[in-house]
Amino acid sequence: MSVIVVGAGISGLSTAWALTRRGVAVTLLEQGAIPNPLSASGDQHRIIRRAYGGQGGYQRRIGDAYAAWDEMWSDLGQKHLVDTGFMLLSQEPGDGGEIYRNGLVEGGYPIEDLSPADVAERFPFVDPATIRYGGVSAEGGVLLCQKIAAGLRDWLVANGADVRANTAVSKVDAAVGSVTLMDGAELNADHVVVTAGAWTLGLFPKLDISLTTYRTAVVYLTPPVDLQSAWEHAPTILDPGGKIDGYVLPPVAGTGLKFGAGTHRYKAAPNQDRAAKPGEGEQLRDYFSPP
């Protein structure tokens, strides 16, 4: 069997890895470098966690996800996951922190509830006057996505996959299993798997009835000296509470201290507005100021 995988973000790389280790002849195509800093998985780190609010199916599958990651670490010869655990904070009834906590409780998963004073004692970068409560769990951490992508790329090459960076695709014919490259060349396989992320609509525009691309941003901050150690040993903050749909990843394994907010987004094409706007970093930072 032969398979062409279009897109080498984490979905494409892991698909190619799973197929290659089963003896499938894989051709992996990526429009940019691998890892591609423009892809959704091209940043320094991402969160893995048990908590998914009301999405109980996702919560149940995390055990299988950890098992799959362990298989990958075994093949790569290195673990690119830092087991920080995660923390939830609630500022007001019904906010994201509370929704995540309730989902864990309803699913029977462990969560240690903390009073505001307990949170501030363990994590002095949190102002206890701004939260109702907190909670921590060991079932989460930080995935080092750039290291994962580079490791998978090297493993695929070493194990016989045809890995082609800087190879953009202009057309996919799913019915016959063919892919046309930007230079006009055509590739064929028994199957084609498209893992093009935000660029999927460029290949399948009719999917716009169900797919939408958004432009968002994150900011990396330098913590004050007196809180440096606290941040370096902090859990991932899955939600700080309130209305911003925020998250924070601690500076572990050579990564930076990253803040992001789900409210900071708008509809945009995947190559639109790639440069940060003046003051955008400060705006993201200020989302996390005391209410």
CATH number, domain of 219, equals: 3.30.9.10
Confidence (pLDDT) at 135: 98
Do 170 and 226 lie in one domain? The reply is no
Confidence (pLDDT) at 174: 85
Domain end (from 155, 185, 209):
209
User: Which residue range is the domain that position 163 belongs to?
Assistant: 2-44+146-209
Do 154 and 134 lie in one domain? The reply is no
Do 158 and 258 lie in one domain? The reply is no
Do 83 and 137 lie in one domain? The reply is yes
pLDDT tens-digit series, residues 226-276: 999 999 999 999 999 999 999 999 999 999 999 999 999 999 999 999 999
Question: Average pLDDT in the 16-22 region?
Answer: 99
Do 94 and 109 lie in one domain? The reply is yes
- In the predicted structure, residue 128 carries a pLDDT above the cut 80: yes
Confidence (pLDDT) at 41: 84
- In the predicted structure, residue 48 carries a pLDDT above the cut 90: yes
Confidence (pLDDT) at 16: 99
Do 122 and 236 lie in one domain? The reply is yes
Do 218 and 193 lie in one domain? The reply is no
pLDDT tens-digit series, residues 166-224: 999 999 998 899 999 999 999 999 999 999 999 999 999 999 999 999 999 999 999 99
- In the predicted structure, residue 31 carries a pLDDT above the cut 90: yes
Do 124 and 80 lie in one domain? The reply is yes
Do 197 and 225 lie in one domain? The reply is no
Which candidate, 39, 65, 40, places its Cα nearest to that of 52? 65
Please check whether residue 117 lies inside any domain of the structure: yes
pLDDT tens-digit series, residues 76-118: 999 999 999 999 999 999 999 999 999 999 999 999 999 999 9
Per cent of the chain over pLDDT 70 is 100
- C-alpha gyration radius of the chain: 21
Please check whether residue 257 lies inside any domain of the structure: yes
For residue 144, give every residue at least 6 positions away whose Cβ sits within 8 Å of its Cβ, in sequence order, or none: 44, 45, 80, 81, 82, 253, 255
For residue 127, give every residue at least 6 positions away whose Cβ sits within 8 Å of its Cβ, in sequence order, or none: 120, 290
Q: What is the DSSP letter of 38?
A: T
Given a contact cutoff of 8 angstroms between Cβ atoms, the answer to whether 9 and 42 are in contact is yes
Which candidate, 43, 168, 56, 45, places its Cα nearest to that of 104? 56
Confidence (pLDDT) at 12: 98
What rounded mean pLDDT belongs to the chain? 97
Please check whether residue 62 lies inside any domain of the structure: no
Do 139 and 267 lie in one domain? The reply is yes
Do 250 and 197 lie in one domain? The reply is no
Domain count, the chain: 2
Confidence (pLDDT) at 106: 96
Q: What is the pTM of this model?
A: 0.95
Kind plus residue range of the DSSP H or E element containing 19: helix 10-20
Domain end (from 209, 229, 259):
209
pLDDT band at residue 72 under the 50/70/90 scheme: very high
Per cent of the chain over pLDDT 90 is 97
CATH number, domain of 195, equals: 3.50.50.60
Please check whether residue 250 lies inside any domain of the structure: yes
Domain end (from 209, 227, 250):
209
Do 115 and 225 lie in one domain? The reply is yes
